[in-house]
Chains A and B, each alone.
Chain A
């Protein structure tokens, strides 16, 4: 048992090194783009840094982005572990938000707001999990690739949100892209007044991280996911059921994504918005990949992404760059991540051949 534990640290160090290489590549790519765009890279980085970590308030903004990113990445670790590409995570976030909003609307008149808020987060979990379940069944029963199923379901979820905002849940008077009516403050998740940061949300993220780590490490579910993800046909011979475990992994991913969507409603926007998911699901795919599917590398990587995301909002104002540049930088980030990922896999393959 002891040797098993100590052996865990060496790969951790190796993985951290890979992350570092990726980060350097990301900086190289983004610098290149900044130079092409005519902006001094160092000044740009300075502004991104200042814009994300320059004050407690800005850091609070970063944490607000970090929360859904980390939650979604937690869920994605489950699906990646069994070899599924859960692109549908974006729709699962949206469904979480929808279910959560529905629960809050149901409890508008309630005398027990704390219970309604808890109920709403639980509803978000269920909504995300159900949406993921559809993709899971399409994959296992209908032989539909989870990437296409997820992508399709993302559009459907977005459609449902728009329909709700402009239809049944529209504001009294005029429906608008700014979303449904804001909920009364007693249905807001409690916040630190000065920083608009919510301790319960942070607590949920911490619990999610620990729970994910424990499930993957110590439960049969975690071992089964790893076995099936590494070799489904051998795992089947060992008596495991690949289809059932795939659906299970999807439920976990959808559940965490649903909570993320729910927290965006009860903790951040206090209403349903068309862009409630803010692409955090897609970004979380990159977080999980960059973290090399290691749960303990997820929080720092998610923080890095959140900093870039929040900090680059400053660029147009500070350096008179076109506002689309922040999108370009994020795109470069994506490419660098994928590039390093592919390179690492190719290297692993050639090393495997040599052995």
Chain B
């Protein structure tokens, strides 16, 4: 069956997650949806699967407009989705999970369903023990089970959202073979991914999304560099890097491992020098977040050593790092950086010397007024921080930075900001280069990294797989590296 999306829009408040998407997928086609994190892929697929509803636009099945409002309804029309985290019941057995939602009769149809389970599993070459408890299965096996269940429900359009994250290469091979078999039977497969290699290996046709819009389509055979350009777009203009001569070593990590994110951080060696601006590239959760948090003392390294000038920071907490001049700005401003419910003045009051007994309200109010003017923040000293716009929240956070930090660790410092704010942020951050400060930041925007960083570290699957001078590389090379191709 043929699926057509016409002019799909999805708004979350002021954010346009999907902005006028047109997409057609034919029967028997394996169609890739490629794009960066936050490009709007998952949003679009959730609309197609009935999991969320579009703000505007229509969906057609074989040329007829359909209107469905939930996943169960979508399933009766033949559309099913495999989510990033399989939605299943860990305490039930494999067969029980398979049977869920397949029978309305009060009696047990276990025998009949067990038979169809075995037949389907055999056909797709999925080796799953029906009586095993689901919690003993790997992610890849749970995925296989979910595919079997969707097939048993009579799904004709199968959507897979990032199916290759967290599964082994053997499982990936089994999965791809099964998908090709399903496509040969006339089923449509939609593969959502940010991994170029997966899309290239499997798909007949690829649609690329960027910032909620379609930036291009391509049929097999694919041209990698063309796809990368569609994914990352034409470069916006950033203020040039400051290129000071690097000084002594500031942060030295040797053999550091840590947990967290999708991939953790594995066996990381890195040296950050004075006056250096280092950009961390990589897909979300590839280890750069864990790197920043370990460097800030917010996470303990499970292995390895971390040194700051003249001090071994092993097993020290963030406050010890702070005392050594390390400052960390988290990406989620309102969740981690600022305190909802407190005013701008109260935020400044918090930073006045901690050993004072009384709150210096007068000084805090003056500091707030002054920094609001210096940083051109649209707000009043008495404004609650959650009332500020994202750009103004970031300006406020930057206004808290100490005058002479040794090391600034910034997690995606320009997330969600418009170009003017992005420029402003970097102009401000560059003033720190002259003060011997080292800056380490992560960003999903390769152009940003290339423009403002002196050096780039590329993270893939928890490891630093590439470290280059920014002047010696380009977006193509970095794009390949973040997809794991060196």
Would you call B338 an interface residue if the criterion is a C-beta within 8 Å of the partner chain's C-beta atoms?
A: yes
A1-18 contacts to B, CB under 8 A, are: 1, 3-4, 7
* The one of B322, B342, B361 that contacts A239, using a Cβ cutoff of 8 Å: B322
Give me the 7 closest cross-chain CB pairs, A-B, nearest first.
A231-B339, A230-B341, A230-B339, A234-B339, A238-B350, A223-B359, A227-B339
Residues of B within 8 A of A (CB): 318-319, 322, 328, 330, 335-343, 345-347, 349-351, 354, 356-359, 361-362, 365, 380-382, 386-387
Stretch at the interface among A106-114, A214-222, A315-323: A214-222
Q: Is the CB of A219 within 8 A of B359?
A: yes
Q: 12 A-B contacts, Cβ less than 8 Å apart?
A: A3-B380, A4-B381, A219-B358, A221-B357, A223-B350, A224-B350, A226-B341, A231-B336, A234-B335, A234-B339, A237-B318, A238-B351
Task: Please determine whether B336 and A234 come into contact, CB atoms closer than 8 angstroms.
Answer: yes
Assess whether A4 is in contact with B356, with CB atoms less than 8 Å apart.
no
Known: A220-B357, A227-B350. 17 other contacts (CB 8 A): A4-B382, A218-B358, A218-B359, A219-B357, A219-B358, A223-B346, A224-B350, A227-B339, A230-B340, A230-B342, A231-B336, A231-B341, A233-B336, A234-B337, A239-B322, A239-B354, A240-B350
Chain B residues with CB under 8 A of A4: 343, 345, 361, 365, 381-382
Q: Cβ of B318: which chain A residues have Cβ within 8 Å of it? A: 236-237
Which chain A residues have a beta carbon within 8 Å of chain B's beta carbons? 1, 3-4, 7, 218-224, 226-227, 230-231, 233-241, 352, 355
**Chain A positions within 8 Å of B343 at CB level:** 4
Q: Which residues of B contact A238 (CB under 8 A)?
A: 339, 347, 350-351
**Whose C-beta in chain A lies nearest to the C-beta of B349?**
A223
Nearest chain-B residue to A240 (Cβ)? Answer: B350
Q: Which residues of A contact B362 (CB under 8 A)?
A: 1
User: Quick check: B359 and A3 within 8 Å, CB to CB?
Assistant: no
Q: Number of A-B pairs whose CB atoms are under 8 Å?
A: 77
Contact of A1 among B339, B354, B365 (CB under 8 A): B365
Contacts of B350 in A (CB 8 A): 223-224, 227, 235, 238, 240
Set of chain B residues within 8 Å of A221, measured between Cβ atoms: 357
Q: For the complex, give the distance between the alpha carbons of A240 and B349 in Å.
A: 12
Contacts of B330 in A (CB 8 A): 237
With most chain B CB atoms within 10 A of its CB, the pick from A3, A4, A226, A241 is A4
Q: Is the CB of A234 within 8 A of B338?
A: yes
Identify the interface centre among A3, A219, A237: most chain B CB within 10 Å of its CB.
A237
For B337, the chain A residues whose CB sits under 8 A away are 234, 237
A223-B349, A239-B354 known; A3+B382 contact, CB < 8 A: yes
Kindly state the separation between the CA atoms of A234 and B330 in the bound complex, as whole angstroms. Answer: 9
Given A3-B382, A238-B351 in contact, is the A226-B342 Cβ separation under 8 Å?
A: yes
Residues of chain A contacted by B386 (CB below 8 angstroms): 352, 355
Nearest B residue to A7, CB-CB: B382
Asked whether, in the complex, the Cβ of B339 is within 8 Å of the Cβ of A241, the reply is: no
Residues B358 and A227 in contact, CB atoms below 8 Å apart: no
Residues of B within 8 Å of A3, CB to CB, are 380-382
Task: List the A side residues contacting B358 at CB < 8 Å.
Answer: 218-220
Question: Given A234-B336, A237-B337, are A227 and B381 also a contact pair (CB < 8 Å)?
Answer: no
Query: What distance in Å separates the Cβ of B346 from its nearest Cβ neighbour in chain A?
Result: 6
- CB–CB B339/A235 < 8 A: yes
**Cα of A224 to Cα of B330 in the assembled complex, Å:** 20
Give bound CA distance, A321 to B335, whole Å: 53
CB of A261 to closest CB in B, whole Å? 28
Please give me the residue from chain B that is nearest to A214 by CB atom: B358
| B384 CB, min distance to chain A CBs, angstroms | 10
Q: In the complex, what residues of B have CB within 8 A of residue A235's CB?
A: 339, 350
> Closest chain B residue to A222 by CB distance?
B359
Residues of A within 8 A of B341 (CB): 226, 230-231
Q: Could you tell me the distance between the alpha carbons of A231 and B341 in the complex, rounded to whole angstroms?
A: 9
Nearest Cβ in chain B — how far from A300, in angstroms? 24
Smallest CB–CB gap between A203 and chain B, Å? 25
Residue of A nearest to B319 (CB): A239
